[in-house]
Chains A and B, each alone.
Chain A
Amino acid sequence: MPTDDKLIEVRGLKTHFFLDQGVVKAVDGVDFDLHRGETLCIVGESGCGKSITARSLMQIVDPPGRIVAGEMLLHRRAGGNGGGQVEDVVDLAKLAPNGREIRAIRGKEIAMIFQEPMTSLSPVHTIGRQISQAILLHNKVTKEEARQQTIETLRLVGLPKPELRVDGYPFQLSGGMRQRAMIAMALSCHPSLLIADEPTTALDVTTQAQILDLMIGLQEELGMAMMFITHDLGVVAEIADRVVVMYLGIVAESGDVDTIFGQPQHPYTQALLRSIPRVGGGVRQRLDSIKGMVPDPYNRPKGCPFHTRCSKRIPGVCDRTLPARATVGEGHEVSCLLYSMPRLSGHDGQGGGLPNRRGGMA
């Protein structure tokens, strides 16, 4: 259930990769909020920066990548989940990536599930050992208590015979079961935010359905917030409360799930939704595809990054001005010059969804 109190506030986050060939601006000014208990989906095509945004939150961006600007505020509540306590706000962007503070948060308050369960579990340690390690690190418990908690968590994620599986190795599990073990590991310390980076992409549809159901059920049970990264719009429609659509390192559009699917405002979101074949949609209707490719990250287009593929671009405006965020509805924000006129005469983009006529003059 989405509530109004914020858990994470991301403002102007920029994560750049400094390579020999140039600077890749993987994340270039991302803003969003995440409230307690809600499911936020970040969607976009490969290379749009959705995974790097998540990794930035955890401070696990690999070099040569670095967070160069912005803040990521984590609102922590002292003394458990009871309401009314004093909130203490930490800026995750200011913490050293290997410092003590972020290590206390990582795995404890923010946990992450990765895409490929086989490569993110250690093949030479038992499942129980890998999970209890996190419990032992973050809690004052004995090894025996940690083992019991591990078994309980494995039972929670629906792994059959957890008291036997706890001593098993990852290769003894199927893909779906491994992903359950990964989820158990992430949940072992009761995080207030679970980041899931394409958790079902490597799975078959029937297994994907099992895992999605499990995650929705667990979220209701444990009341944590979820940040779900995916490129599959079907999955988004299935689980999201709110959606952030990313394109080339910026947030193109954000809003609640019904708005994004029902009344998308950004030309990219609209085109993306038109370009997917739908089950039950009939045979052989022609798809509206987005022309061209995602531009090369080394030389991003000037102005709005989508203007090279956009069917509604305004020549002379979109290729010069980086669009500002404009609010077009309740909790619905779009970064598009159709909605936020360039600030030529002090106009600050509050006009909302009026497709402009003055567009051509600039």
Chain B
Amino acid sequence: MTIDLIRQDRNVLLEVRRLKMHFPIRKGFLRRQVGVVRAVDDVNFFVRTGETLGLVGESGCGKTTTGRCILRAYTPTAGEILYRRGSGDIVDLATLDEAGMKPMWREIRMIFQDPYSSLNPRMTLLEIVGDPLKLNKAVASSKELEERVAYLLKRVGLRPEYMHRYPHAFSGGERQRIGIARSLALNPRLVVADEAVSALDVSVRAQILNLLQDLQEEFGLTYIFVAHDLSVVEYLCDRVAVMYVGKLVELAKTEALYETPRHPYTEALMSAVPKPNPKQRGRGKRIILEGDVADPANPPKGCYFHPRCRYAKDRCSADTPELRNLGGSGAAGTDHFVACHFAEELALRGVGARS
């Protein structure tokens, strides 16, 4: 991967380099450390200003942990998280202490998955949405606070009159809107949305997806969209990164990734998604992966995917593949990163191939 891309390319907002997040496994009376779970293991990627990067993978692949590392909910074991501030300075989020992170938390916000547990039931909407404003002294008076909260609620499609109500009075979709209003309160630049629409019903999900897009256009937001639903990711994201057992296996522009995947895991993932069209039934044609996802505490040698990969050769169980760029030479939007030894030789099926 290019070194110091963030310093060369002014469009890059965030660059994650060799990020590792290992959680200790402790056992016994003395809580001795007996091993580590490699939740995120050597992950590299970057995000351009104004784009939406999707982070997909199955449960336990480390996508949520990566998102949380960026917000420094966790302190990474190793690696750099370079972030370009509004002022143009580049800071490494991975090494900042809490005092240093405080101004960053104004610029980087998170939207959570579960709209039921992420809102305090004893606070009114005014308090929930207004809290970040008050804490950061972004408003002068309580009148200004109310005006600002009213504006935010209106922006996400809620009635400002509701601001003195409590979260229990709202449905799942409305609560997710409240969560979005809260994350937007401080005019952030980067928003990490962790499974932001997974808990919602189909008809409401479409509303929230449209809302996220409108807000991005209006406020020039950059999203990191963590999700497991590939159809939602395709709809919303400019580029998509696929993770498997703590590693990034493929990263490319959305069309390229969906039409011409280069990693066998991406291919299998695409083919496993049931399509809402009975004429395209995939039975027999679907790639069914054997076995289960590898244990991140005890991953297989070589490529982590090789025990389930139908193209695996001897080399795959010995050497760990590096993430390489197979796409065009650095021009924005043509890069296609893959971590597979045989990416050039394989002819893999994309999503369109099944019909």
Which positions in A face B, CB cutoff 8 Å?
Answer: 45-46, 174, 176-177, 204-210, 212-213, 216, 231-238, 240, 257-258, 261-262, 271-273, 275-291, 293-294, 309
B282 close to chain A: CB less than 8 A = yes
B136 close to chain A: CB less than 8 A = no
- When distances are taken between beta carbons in the complex, the residues of chain A under 8 Å from B278 are 237-238, 240, 257-258, 261-262
Q: Per a CB cutoff under 8 Å, which of B202, B207, B283, B288 touches A45?
A: B202
Binds A, one of B66-74, B265-273, B315-323: B265-273
B292 close to chain A: CB less than 8 A = yes
CA gap between A216 and B286 in the complex, in Å? 13
Which positions in B face A, CB cutoff 8 Å?
Answer: 58-59, 171-174, 201-207, 209-210, 213, 228, 230-232, 234-238, 254-255, 258, 268-283, 286, 288-289, 292-293, 350-352
Would A279 and B273 count as touching, CB distance under 8 A? yes
The 4 A-B residue pairs with the shortest CB-CB distance in the complex, in nearest-first order: A234-B274, A289-B206, A277-B235, A290-B203
CB distance from B204 to the nearest CB of A (A): 7
CA gap between A288 and B203 in the complex, in Å? 9
- When distances are taken between beta carbons in the complex, the residues of chain B under 8 Å from A216 are 283
Known contacts A275-B205, A283-B254, A293-B174; is-contact A213 B286 (Cβ 8 Å): yes
- When distances are taken between beta carbons in the complex, the residues of chain A under 8 Å from B59 are 204
CB distance from B287 to the nearest CB of A (A): 8
**Total contacts A-B at CB 8 Å:** 151
| A-B pairs with beta carbons under 8 Å apart, 9 shown | A206-B289, A209-B274, A233-B276, A275-B205, A277-B234, A278-B276, A280-B258, A284-B236, A285-B235
CA gap between A119 and B307 in the complex, in Å? 30
Would A205 and B292 count as touching, CB distance under 8 A? no
Known contacts A237-B276, A293-B171; is-contact A281 B234 (Cβ 8 Å): yes
CA gap between A212 and B282 in the complex, in Å? 11
- When distances are taken between beta carbons in the complex, the residues of chain B under 8 Å from A209 are 271-272, 274, 286, 288-289
CB distance from A242 to the nearest CB of B (A): 11
Known contacts A205-B273, A209-B272; is-contact A277 B210 (Cβ 8 Å): no
Known contacts A237-B275, A277-B235; is-contact A206 B269 (Cβ 8 Å): yes
- When distances are taken between beta carbons in the complex, the residues of chain B under 8 Å from A205 are 58, 228, 230, 269, 272-273
CA gap between A301 and B58 in the complex, in Å? 40
CA gap between A284 and B210 in the complex, in Å? 9
Would B268 and A206 count as touching, CB distance under 8 A? yes
Known contacts A204-B228, A281-B234; is-contact A231 B254 (Cβ 8 Å): no
| Chain A residue, CB-CB nearest to B209 | A287
CB distance from B36 to the nearest CB of A (A): 21
Known contacts A275-B205, A289-B207; is-contact A238 B228 (Cβ 8 Å): no
Would A278 and B275 count as touching, CB distance under 8 A? yes
Would A279 and B206 count as touching, CB distance under 8 A? no
CB distance from A210 to the nearest CB of B (A): 6
CB distance from A171 to the nearest CB of B (A): 15
- When distances are taken between beta carbons in the complex, the residues of chain A under 8 Å from B288 are 206, 209-210, 213
Known contacts A205-B58, A209-B286, A277-B231; is-contact A45 B203 (Cβ 8 Å): yes
Would B203 and A234 count as touching, CB distance under 8 A? no
Would B234 and A283 count as touching, CB distance under 8 A? yes
CB distance from B161 to the nearest CB of A (A): 17
Known contacts A279-B258, A290-B203; is-contact A204 B58 (Cβ 8 Å): yes
Would B270 and A279 count as touching, CB distance under 8 A? yes
| Chain B residue, CB-CB nearest to A277 | B235
Would A272 and B202 count as touching, CB distance under 8 A? yes
CA gap between A284 and B209 in the complex, in Å? 10
**Residue among A177, A206, A231 with the most chain B CB within 10 A?**
A206
CA gap between A178 and B98 in the complex, in Å? 42
